Amino acid sequence: MAAKFGTSGLRGLATELTGSTSALYATAFARYLLGNGLAKPGDMIAVAQDFRDSSPEIASTVMGSLKREGLVPIDCGRIPTPALALYAMSRGAAAIMITGSHIPADRNGIKFYRPDGEIGKADETAITELATDLASDPVATRVEEGSGDDHSAEAAALLFKRNSKILPASALSGLKIGVYQHSTVARETMVDIIRHYGAEAVALGWSDSFIPVDTEAVSPDTESLLLKWAGEHGLDAIISADGDGDRPLVADESGRPMRGDLLGLIASRFLRAEVVVTPVTSNSGIDAAGGFEVVRTRVGSPFVIAAMSEALGAGKGKVLGFEANGGLMLASDFSPEGREIGPLPTRDSFLPALAVLGTAAARKMSLSELAREYSLPVAAADRLENFATERSAALMAYLRGARDNLSAFLSPIGTVAEISDIDGLRVTLGDRRVIHFRPSGNAPEMRCYVEAPTADEADALLKQGLAAIAAWKP
């Protein structure tokens, strides 16, 4: 069982997930639901998928396994993850999303949802233990094709209804907004919702083959496309999402992507949040920028959701969370200007994008002008792909092993002033710049996050950090 849970769901090579592995984990999830009173025989369970080549086969196997365990799979088709979660929660049903999100096309993943929302780390541990116990069971690992009644239209319509009341009617009238469609399952709904609010939607970059778009570390190729389209079409903004539509990408009128944590901050103000939960990798300037309490967590939606639930349980009022990739999660009801928006404790790309577009439009500002109002440190992030997990673990063990190791590693970059070890190593340098090293929880990658006073300094620091990682030898 090479596949494993990462920061969000089960992940692995597509060749590892197709076949018996997907059958095994679907069986383990079904038995976990049934064994813990979260489902009973005959209950429906919603299944959806992204556009990866391997997703249909995995979805079929998952539905076959669920049916074998006495549950009733329903097929929600190729819809965004927030649409699946919203629809399943509205029906009091569990759900499974087949997606690898933003990771390379040769990989895939499975996300699991209880009837009350995305599973947490305790659920992951229990499901993994069940899968381990069942690994030699020929029934649990048997691959059977399955299908279910088509509920894709109902699920998509529910997401559209939710998004259609976030802004006032015609809030985006007069704007020309590009939608980078590539291979995200959010591509058609994004065009529809932009038009619903009165903007001219320009569909861009449709792809029949899967393109992994990382909204947290936007690739140079994607940046080039956005800059080109913004100039060619005279756009006020460009929006997009990752493969399963739960992480937003918003670029300003020049085609420059806005940081995901800035989108989250603007959305938090738009919604008048009282508590904001966000991982340690989000911009350090958020703590003083919003007028709300900020709770920091490890990276990964399960950690954010757990902290949101704790805050909600403590009676702290309007609670939401977001990640540095921009995915927004609502733990409580919100009502901007009287428009009711219900809880959705899983990442959503639509609400943060609409909040930013709506805020700029209401104030008659460009997105770049809006961004400049937030005097946050300039943040940047990137990753080294195909960086073996074992090598990442060895590097982190070395850096954590002794203060002298870390100081020597960073000596060409700066001196160590402060260290945070919430998730990876986040180092504040003597000149107050920040550099953060963290292995990916989803793929064989090392990620580097930086903050500095200017864009040039942030870019330079990021290059130095990535070069130091690449040059390190155990």
101 catalytically annotated: yes
Cβ-count burial 333-369 (b if 16+ within 10 Å, e if not)? ebebeeeebebbbbbbbbbbbbbbbbbbbeeeeebee
- Reference 143, options 52, 46, 74, 62; nearest CA is 62
Tokens of 360: 């700029």
Q: How far apart are CA 409 and CA 215, in angstroms?
A: 29
**String of DSSP letters for 350-365:** HHHHHHHHHHHHHTT-
Q: Give the amino acid at 292.
A: F
Dump strand ranges (E) for 328-424.
328-330, 344-348, 378-384, 416-420
> Which residue's structure tokens are 């291979």?
183
Tokens of 50: 């992204």
238-to-175, 199, 378, 466 alpha-carbon distances in Å: 11, 12, 21, 28
Residue from 22, 55, 60, 101 carrying the catalytic annotation? 101
Kindly give the interhelix angle for 389-401 and 403-410, rounded to the nearest 10 degrees.
110
Q: What is the CA radius of gyration of the chain?
A: 22
- Reference 183, options 263, 252, 101, 111; nearest CA is 101
- Contact in structure between 152 and 75 (CB atoms under 8 Å): yes
Task: Identify the three-state secondary structure at position 278.
Answer: strand
Q: Which residues are catalytic?
A: 101
